[in-house]
Amino acid sequence: MIEINDLSKKIGDVQALDKLTFTAQDGHITGILGPNGAGKTTCLRVLFDLLKADSGQALVDSIDVAKSPIKAKRALGLFPDPFGLYERLTPREYISFFAGINGLSSKQAKQATQEVIESLKLEDIADRRCKGFSQGQRMKTALAQAIVHKPKNIVLDEPTRGLDVMSTRVLRRILADLREQGHCVVFSSHVMQEVAALCDNVILMSKGRVVAQGSPQQLIEQSGEQNLEDAFIKLIGSDEGIAA
Ligand SMILES: Nc1ncnc2c1ncn2[C@@H]1O[C@H](COP(=O)(O)OP(=O)(O)OP(=O)(O)O)[C@@H](O)[C@H]1O
């Protein structure tokens, strides 16, 4: 479970997070939807201890990220930018390297790497260098390294950015499987349909705050609109920076 409690962060003159508060439950996919500049990435950077908040807390399975960053990070899988893979490594080398960073012994890392290669159907490319990989192959490799240490919580920042339809569908299936296995899955997006299709719980963010939250159906009811697209726009107060 991930808890964001009263998180505030000022960057320069911008109040990037303004008493942001929400919870992402295990066995659920939680989507953070907001226009450009809403504070989604800033929130995730605080969650990964890449940025210190001015006040408030980010908790991963009740572990305070600022107080116990290593322990918290081991309970978290971060889906990195799939375009930044080390091109000279093979997926097997890459995934097992990250398994080691996350505290697995070399024997455990080898076994966990083989398991994740099988579960994400990466066998064909597991021992090829990443250079020249398609977007979908990169995405799966990046996701494999995020989940190789079996973190209970998996966080993805704009995971479908730049992916084609086929790869997006593969990613959606994988996220749904992780939910079925009881993981807490959180992803940020500015694409409405994606959030609507996948999420049990949607956190609508604008200007560093939560402006509404609930299931897609609850958000429609809260807004008094007929469909999710109109509900999102009404609750956020603008359609600027949001994609259909
Ligand atoms: N390093 C920085 N320097 C200056 N301003 C920043 C910096 N990082 C974030 N900000 C500002 O903080 C606010 C929140 O940015 P953030 O990147 O968290 O938004 P976002 O919701 O992820 O947006 P996007 O969908 O465009 O990625 C924005 O106004 C942004 O300009």
The number of residues in the chain equals 244
Ligand 1 pocket check for 189: Cβ under 6 Å? no
Give residue 221's pLDDT band: very low, low, confident or very high (50, 70, 90).
very high
* pLDDT over 70, % of the chain: 95
Phi, psi dihedrals of residue 219, rounded to the nearest 5°: -65, -35
pLDDT at position 241: 58
What's the pTM?
0.86
Give residue 112's pLDDT band: very low, low, confident or very high (50, 70, 90).
very high
Per residue in 115-174, pLDDT tens? Answer: 999 988 899 999 999 999 988 888 889 889 988 988 999 998 888 776 777 778 888 888
The residue with greater pLDDT, 35 or 84, is 35
Range scoring the smallest mean pLDDT among 13-22, 47-56, 194-203: 194-203
> Which residue has the least CA distance to atom 18 on ligand 1?
39
Q: Which two tokens stand for residue 14?
A: 């911008």
| Cα dihedral: 139, 141, 143, 146 (round 10) | -140
pLDDT at position 242: 59
The mean pLDDT value of the chain amounts to 89
Give residue 87's pLDDT band: very low, low, confident or very high (50, 70, 90).
confident
For the cut 70, the answer to whether the pLDDT of residue 82 exceeds it is no
* Domains of the chain from N-terminus onward: 1-75+152-244 (3.40.50.300), 81-150 (1.10.40)
Per residue in 38-48, pLDDT tens? Answer: 999 899 999 98
pLDDT at position 86: 82
Q: How far is the CA of 190 from the centre of ligand 1 (A)?
A: 13
State whether ipTM is beyond 0.90.
yes
Name the residue of 8, 13, 14 to mutate for ligand 1: max ligand atoms within 8 A of Cβ.
14
Ligand 1 pocket check for 14: Cβ under 6 Å? yes
pLDDT at position 231: 86
What is the torsional sign of CA 187, 159, 136, 132? negative
Number of Cβ within 10 Å of residue 144's Cβ equals 26
pLDDT at position 69: 93
Q: How far is the CA of 37 from the centre of ligand 1 (A)?
A: 5
For the cut 90, the answer to whether the pLDDT of residue 21 exceeds it is yes
